[in-house]
């Protein structure tokens, strides 16, 4: 990819970090990364800056082996999460480690997070859980997390957060939103009774009609960019 293409990617990542902080998916911690398809390095928001302050020039560049190879600010300690997913999943070009509120509650209660709405259908019959709540700072830990993720779009880190993996920055952002939306509905419905998951047929039909690149993903991304501009959260 050209230098211009890399700059476009870095611009998306910086905006995504700020929008995800605005949406409550990132806080003082958490991170989103992205890479040029097929690249052996990726870009990630740095450890030192608030997620609401990140600009394209602040991003750290890291190799898939975990070496910090570019940028003035160092990558977060949980960088192996991202590298391990890229190593395991060649078609993944963006990874987020989010600090979601609702999505971790089922793991705390020891129940499965299942799809209960259209947007939740993209995660299949159940969202897998990585059973450790520890901060992941080694490739050994990250490898176990990546194994738990498998071929799924997301994995819950028990009592901690979640990891979302997708083909683009925009798709990772939207999938993160959908994960938390489905979890919120699941948790709130639990007050009324036992939530009824979508049937396999409903999951298949719903998944085919949502999360489409030019319809739902781009539409949602553009909506949040516009919302962010109105809120004045960007640097330009």
Per-residue pLDDT of the chain (236 residues; tens, 9 = 90+): 567 889 999 999 999 999 999 999 999 899 999 999 999 999 999 998 999 999 999 999 999 999 999 999 999 999 999 999 999 999 999 999 999 999 999 999 999 999 999 999 999 999 999 999 999 999 999 999 999 999 999 999 999 999 999 999 999 999 999 999 999 999 999 999 999 999 999 999 999 999 999 889 999 999 999 999 999 999 99
Domain map (residue ranges) of the chain:
3-231
Contact predicate 111/197, CB 8 Å:
no
Contact predicate 100/178, CB 8 Å:
no
Instruction: Establish how many alpha carbons lie within 13 A of residue 67's alpha carbon, considering only the half-sphere containing its beta carbon.
Output: 5
Question: Structure pTM?
Answer: 0.96
Model confidence over 43-76: pLDDT tens digits?
Answer: 999 998 999 999 999 999 999 999 999 999 999 9
Helix (H) or strand (E) holding 161: strand 161-166
Determine the Cα–Cα distance for residues 232 and 41; give it in Å rounded to an integer. 31
Contact predicate 85/95, CB 8 Å:
yes
CA-based torsion, 108, 110, 116, 121: positive or negative: positive
Q: How many CB atoms lie within 10 A of CB 4?
A: 8
Model confidence over 121-137: pLDDT tens digits?
Answer: 999 999 999 999 999 99
Residue (of 62, 56, 65, 52) closest to 26 by Cα position: 52
How confident is the model at residue 1, as a pLDDT? Answer: 53
Determine the Cα–Cα distance for residues 70 and 62; give it in Å rounded to an integer. 7
CATH code: domain 3-231 is: 3.40.225.10
């Amino acid at each position: 990819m050209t230098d211009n293409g890399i700059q476009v990617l870095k611009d998306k990542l910086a905006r995504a970090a700020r929008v995800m902080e605005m949406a409550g998916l990132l806080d003082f911690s958490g991170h989103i990364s992205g890479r040029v398809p097929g690249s052996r390095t990726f870009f990630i928001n740095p450890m030192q800056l608030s997620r609401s302050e990140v600009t394209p020039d602040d991003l750290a560049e890291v190799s898939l082996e975990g070496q910090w190879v570019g940028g003035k600010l160092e990558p977060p300690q949980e960088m192996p999460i991202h590298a391990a997913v890229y190593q395991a999943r060649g078609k993944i070009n963006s990874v987020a480690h989010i600090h979601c509120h609702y999505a971790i509650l089922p793991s705390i209660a020891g129940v499965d997070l299942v799809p209960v709405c259209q947007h939740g259908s993209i995660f299949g019959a159940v969202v897998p859980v990585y059973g450790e709540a520890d901060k992941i700072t080694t490739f050994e830990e990250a490898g176990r997390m990546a194994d738990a993720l498998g071929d799924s779009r997301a994995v819950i880190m028990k009592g901690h957060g979640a990891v979302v993996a997708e083909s683009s920055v925009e798709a990772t952002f939207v999938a993160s939103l959908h994960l938390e939306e489905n979890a919120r509905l699941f948790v709130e419905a639990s007050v009324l009774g036992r939530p009824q998951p979508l049937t396999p047929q409903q999951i298949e039909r719903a998944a085919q009609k949502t999360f489409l690149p030019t319809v739902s993903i781009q539409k949602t991304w553009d909506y949040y960019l516009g919302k962010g501009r109105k809120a004045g959260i960007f640097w330009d």
